[in-house]
Amino acid sequence: MIYLDYAANTPIEKEVLDTYYQATMYYFANPNANHSLGLQAKDIIDQITKKISEQLHVLPEEIIYTSGASEANNLAIKGVLERYKHRGKHILISPLEHNSILSSLTKMQELGFVVEMLPLKKNGQVDVAQIKSLLKEDTILVSVCSVDSELGIRQPIEEIGKVLKDYKYCFFHSDASQAIGKVAIDYQNVDLVTVAPHKFYGMLGTGILIKKKNVGLKTQIDGGKSTTVFRSGTPELAHIVSIEKALEIAFSKQQERIEYVKKLNHKIVDKLKEYSQVLLNHTECSLPHVINISLKGIKATKFAELLDHQGVCISTKTSCCPVETPSKMIYALYHDRGRALSSFRISLSHLTTEKEIDEFLAIFSQCYKECFENGKI
């Protein structure tokens, strides 16, 4: 099998898994317990949280552990809006947000909140110059993903943060799920940041919401004592330790991995440009880890099936989106329903080999001929 869906999920680093296993074996006591083993577990969590805060350039008390990015996004969106609803009900977001943000906002719209989309430039980045004109007196939240999951476009988070820092009643959230380990971003002026370890070779079921100390939240999970008052649940020491290890590896090897992926990206894109029915959807602002294309007149799901039968695993859209529907992100950028129906994503990793790329290109050529020359679809 040739796996080209690393933006959906990544395999766990062996060191991360080993760290997790060791933690479950030696520090299994409940960190909330007052006996010696419980206190030892709590001390380990405090030490590891300090390390994670240093890796992410925040304070330890600004770390909230979650079950993943979806929970973190829900907590950020619903938590802020419910906590500050007396201030206003206007929200600005990019059209490239993950479904966990869009679905959270749909719920909030039912409660009277108003959501407005930020305009995109041709390169897929939010038009920062227009943000000030869209901000209202009752705007209480702006949410822009650091990197989106389908086009891999790196948003100007630092520039947006500089604009919003003067609006003390408006908070700025960024979903960094697709950014960690792939690109350096300064989150100094971002109030809430979502982190998803399973996107950078950590474990599924783990996540972080960075919540700066000036931000309040309405809790979404109520219960017993935890590492923070903003999210209840027995602290999962082994998960926390695994996050720290995944971050350590991701940051230490980030640049060399980026350079390797760039080479793979150039090889694929150069070849795809030779096909007359291929449209390149990603832009100059996309990270090299993501290649997004459309095949004129061909449903992406059908072409993906052909590839899958040949042992190639790719995604037509973000995995959480329903099949047989246009890509919202492609449509937002190109306003072309046909193009959005025929798009699919090739996502790369440092684990992708050149041999796999050669085999993929050969299989792609075969499937392309079946579609456009033999009329199979």
Query: CA angle, 177 as apex, 287 and 2 as ends, to 5°?
Result: 60
Q: What does the buried/exposed string (b/e) look like for 345-377 if buried means 16 or more CB atoms within 10 Å of the residue's CB?
A: bbbbbbebeeebbeebeebbeebbeebbeeeee
320 is catalytic: yes
Out of 313, 320, 321, 371, which one is annotated catalytic?
Answer: 320
- Cβ atoms of 231 and 78 closer than 8 Å: no
| 23/240 Cα distance (integer angstroms) | 10
| 226/214 Cα distance (integer angstroms) | 20
* β-pair partners for 154: 147
Nearest residue to 80 (alpha-carbon basis) of 140, 163, 157: 140
- Cβ atoms of 120 and 127 closer than 8 Å: yes
Nearest residue to 268 (alpha-carbon basis) of 168, 163, 345, 170: 345
Any idea which residues carry the catalytic annotation? 320
